[in-house]
A and B are shown apart, each in its own frame.
Chain A
Amino acid sequence: MSERTLYDKVWDAHAVTTLPTGQTQLFIGLHLVHEVTTPQAFDMMRERGLSIAYPQRTFATADHIIPTDTQVRPFADDQAEAMMAALERNVRDFDIEFYGLGSDRQGIVHVIGPQLGLTQPGMTLACGDSHTSTHGAFGTLAFGIGTSQVRDVLATQTLSMDRLNVRRINVNGSLPLGVHAKDVILTIIRTLGVGGGKGFAYEYGGAVLDAMNMDERMTVCNMSIEGGALVGYVNPDGTTFDYLLGRPFAPKGEAFDRAMAYWRSMASDPDARYDDVVDIDGSAIEPTVTWGINPGQAVGVLESLPRPEELQDPKTVEKAYQHMGWEPGAPILGTPIDVAFIGSCTNSRLSDLVAAARVAKGRQVSSDVRALVVPGSVEVKKQAEAAGLDRVFTEAGFQWREAGCSMCLAMNPDKLNGREVCASSSNRNFIGRQGSPGGRTLLMSPAMVAAAALNGKVVDVREYN
């Protein structure tokens, strides 16, 4: 059969049956668990007397609530300690492999899955976290799910799902120097809207995606949900296979060759039929910065802030201006910042840290900026330290932290205070997201965050080329 997308092939291979509701019962190849969205699911399992169906297909780690400065137990925050203890009890009671604090495999769930070779092409994956789409970088159909759905996956290794349409997004040409994967996905969301992906899976491709390494593809796929798409993916290719070779859970020897044959066969056919196709000129993408309260409210760093009356939907931006306190028509360049955060499941991998370190090396963080670098996993931290990046950052005045979600979502001690403005490599600029109801977030690439940290304001990272 030809003309099929990767989405079609993976869906069909994992479809168990059509349920009486008309939805598909879909087998989930890999289930990732973290501490925040699962305690209630395990409790529901206990209340209903259910056992876990495929414990060997579930892996757990802790990332959201853990402090990134000192990780001594018990945590200072009683709630965080109780949540951690609940996870530890749950993985023990349900016989789940767990990479907790002290494990060299611990880290942000969307960093460790790929890093361990658990995430593989042609697989379905679910996790109680909206950024699960990250794993789509491998040609995986990866679903962010709610807690009741976590219960379903624990109990049955399946989900009841509606099939999505597929939109192919071609990013053509090549990216200018100083323009990164983060700028690509922010531009896609800006172009198609934060709700534009409703009902769609996004298939990212084109010369820009072909040229990207896996870290960069993960950054793009990570923010699919910010564009309203439940899943996003890139077709697997040689770059994907090279990344997987030798990873702890990747097939070994001849099995790897057989795996590659399967993975290749699951990629979209050259004549695949899409429900929609969008073309974006990669060479026209600029370093991009969000100015508002959703990730679609973004401008190129040399642009000025939009005037509500120029937009289709002036009311939507009024709330953003009210919260951010900026004036329409003002430049984003030169906007003062108080905090700089490099980290999160979007941008905490080795190549992200390398890009930021290249800007920071031999320079100093502005004296009035609090700057954090938070590696995405213990493994990333080790690799970065082996490459001397920790010294580059600390000598420049950045704090070098332990692995975790940190200031992306303020469930741990890393938070904004008051009306602070944060240049952040994370994924959400929602009101209150970084822990202060009045806090303000400017999303940008790790290199742009580093440049902003040095200058105490938003600058164009291309000046550092």
Chain B
Amino acid sequence: MSEIKQVGGRAVVVRGHDIDTDRIVPARYLKEITFSRMGEYPFIDERYDADGNTVEHPFNEARFQGAELLVVNRNFGCGSSREHAPQALYRWGIRAIIGESFGPIFAGSSVLLGMPTVMASPEDVGRLMTLVESDPQVELTVDLDARKVRLPDGSDIDIDISEGHRNALTTGSWDSTALLLGNMDEVAQTSEKLPYTKNFEGPAPL
């Protein structure tokens, strides 16, 4: 598994607070039993009207095609646990998301895909949004080691990410299964200590 220390590229901006995962991928696409087509669906009900005509949306704009970074506002990815939402963004091409804050399950799923969600102040997010919208060709770099987003003019902004997520990404252990499988003896010991795993037969080891 690769170490993810820096993610660089052009960005796309989706403005608005509390954008929930139903808006990122509507439930009808969750009836597919693989994630393979999710890259076609991000924000689909906001990108097309009922007749299939294109509606104005950043993900439809030619100037944002090929973007690898997504800049969002507060509580992005709130609501439903559907991993289809981060999968859709990842498969569309997004490799890191910069926002004011994120829904907790969305952030947890994103890191397991190797897609960091990093937080910046509302002022800095606003600055990034303005910058990217005025010049979509601008290249940004999310630097997880330095906890900064670097701008081409040499300036940077501070970002926050949970230490656990940051370590998982920078040490290449973001796909956690292998890490967890390394401790199955300890897992058995923990299970053994919990009285409910034996349905409280025998004296509880309190």
Task: Encode contact with A along B143-159: 1 for CB under 8 Å, 0 otherwise.
Answer: 00000000000000000
Residue B22 interfacial (CB < 8 Å): yes
**Contact yes or no, A255 B181, CB < 8 A:** no
| Chain B residues within 8 Å of chain A by Cβ, number | 67
**Contact yes or no, B176 A145, CB < 8 A:** no
**Contact yes or no, A48 B177, CB < 8 A:** yes
Residue B186 interfacial (CB < 8 Å): yes
Q: Which residues of B contact A411 (CB under 8 A)?
A: 27-28, 30-31
Partner among A20, A86, A132 whose Cβ is within 8 Å of the Cβ of B167: A20
Closest partner residue, chain A, to B198 (CB atom) = A255
**Contact yes or no, A13 B200, CB < 8 A:** no
Closest partner residue, chain B, to A122 (CB atom) = B196
Q: Which residues of B contact A239 (CB under 8 A)?
A: none
**Contact yes or no, A195 B206, CB < 8 A:** no
**Contact yes or no, B204 A262, CB < 8 A:** yes
Partner among B16, B20, B74, B105 whose Cβ is within 8 Å of the Cβ of A146: B105
The stretch that binds B, out of A150-158, A203-211, A385-393, A451-459, is A150-158
Say whether, besides A53-B184, A146-B112, A195 and B78 are in contact (CB < 8 Å): yes
Residue A335 interfacial (CB < 8 Å): no
Most A CB atoms within 10 A — which of B28, B74, B86, B190? B190
Say whether, besides A148-B112, A431-B22, A80 and B81 are in contact (CB < 8 Å): no
**Alpha-carbon separation in the docked complex, A410 to B25 (Å):** 13
**Contact yes or no, A146 B81, CB < 8 A:** yes
The stretch that binds B, out of A36-44, A169-177, A370-378, is A36-44
Partner among A83, A120, A148, A430 whose Cβ is within 8 Å of the Cβ of B109: A148
Residue A313 interfacial (CB < 8 Å): yes
Say whether, besides A160-B176, A160-B179, A294 and B34 are in contact (CB < 8 Å): no
Q: Which residues of B contact A432 (CB under 8 A)?
A: 22-23, 26, 45
Say whether, besides A27-B194, A155-B177, A194 and B184 are in contact (CB < 8 Å): no
**Alpha-carbon separation in the docked complex, A416 to B105 (Å):** 27
Q: Which residues of B contact A329 (CB under 8 A)?
A: none
**Contact yes or no, B177 A198, CB < 8 A:** no
Residue B193 interfacial (CB < 8 Å): yes
Q: Which residues of A contact B197 (CB under 8 A)?
A: 29, 57
Residues of B within 8 A of A (CB): 16-18, 20, 22-23, 26-28, 30-35, 45, 50, 74-75, 78-83, 86, 101, 103-106, 108-109, 112-113, 162-165, 167-168, 171, 173, 175-177, 179-181, 183-184, 186-187, 189-191, 193-197, 199-201, 203-204, 206
List 11 A-B pairs, Cβ < 8 Å: A16-B187, A19-B164, A21-B168, A39-B34, A80-B31, A123-B194, A194-B75, A259-B204, A411-B28, A430-B20, A437-B50
Query: When A and B form their complex, which 6 residue pairs have the shortest distance between CB atoms, in order from nearest?
Result: A146-B109, A23-B164, A195-B75, A146-B83, A21-B167, A79-B31
